[in-house]
Amino acid sequence: MTKSPLVAGFILFSITMLTFFIVYYFFANANYWITTMQVNAFGMTFLYVFAGFASTYWLRQGTRITYPQAFKQTFVTLFVGGILSMFSIFAFLNYADTDARDMLNHQYVQTELNNLDAAYAKKKTEVANHKDPAKVKELEEDYKNAKIAREVAMKEDRNYFSFKFLSAIFGGFLLFYLMLSIIIAGFMKNKKRYE
């Protein structure tokens, strides 16, 4: 494995895109959105933790590294892999296969509607036991407003894979990369703080 965080980041990007296209080719069906979320929540999290750890581990081989070196190695690896992946997925879904994007957008809103209905049904039984008319009215009003908002989103064909939306998502990823880099750097450094 290379000690360069840029090369390690490019390897991470390659694995991320391979995973993206495996899910795209084999699981683009009625559960595409759910499958994508499961892969992101479990598979990609593990992959990025492993990549950050492995990149810093190989940097440490045969030498002593400080906390800043370990932090830089981890963060640059994750940042390069993540930003290249986001740009590539954005380009693919918005220019190469807009049907996949539209299917994901539709399934996302439908999932939100299903979750809203399930939460409403659960809360309705809880509120009915309290027999408080104000709480029942508030629940009905909240449910109605939330349902209208999601139905409007479905009718407008909002693009949840636009550059603006993905930029906001990437901001969350940067926070994840930062926290992961701090943890891995603290674990992987092998030089005392004041040495």
Burial class (CB in 10 A: 0-12, 13-18, 19+), 73: buried
* Mean pLDDT, rounded, of the chain: 87
Which are the contacts of 54, defined by CB distance < 8 A and separation ≥ 6? 1, 8
Average pLDDT on 23-43 reads 93
How far is residue 120 CA from its own chain's centroid? 26
* pLDDT > 50? residue 140: yes
Whole-number Cα distances in Å, 130 to 68, 92, 125, 135, 156: 56, 51, 9, 8, 38
Whole-structure pTM value: 0.84
pLDDT tens, residue by residue, 149-179? 888 877 777 888 999 999 999 999 999 999 9
Question: What is the rounded distance in angstroms from the CA atom of residue 188 to the CA atom of residue 60?
Answer: 8
How far is residue 9 CA from its own chain's centroid? 17
Is 80:10 a contact under the CB 8 Å cutoff?
A: yes
How far is residue 138 CA from its own chain's centroid? 33
Is 10:84 a contact under the CB 8 Å cutoff?
A: yes
* pLDDT > 90? residue 114: no
* pLDDT > 50? residue 195: no
pLDDT tens, residue by residue, 60-73? 887 888 889 999 99
Most confident range (mean pLDDT) of 45-49, 104-108, 153-157 is 45-49
Q: Please say whether the dihedral angle defined by the alpha carbons of residues 169, 88, 37 and 51, taken in this order, is positive or negative.
A: negative
| pLDDT value for 134 | 74
Whole-number Cα distances in Å, 74 to 1, 14, 49, 68, 170: 14, 17, 9, 10, 17
| pLDDT value for 1 | 53
| pLDDT value for 194 | 38
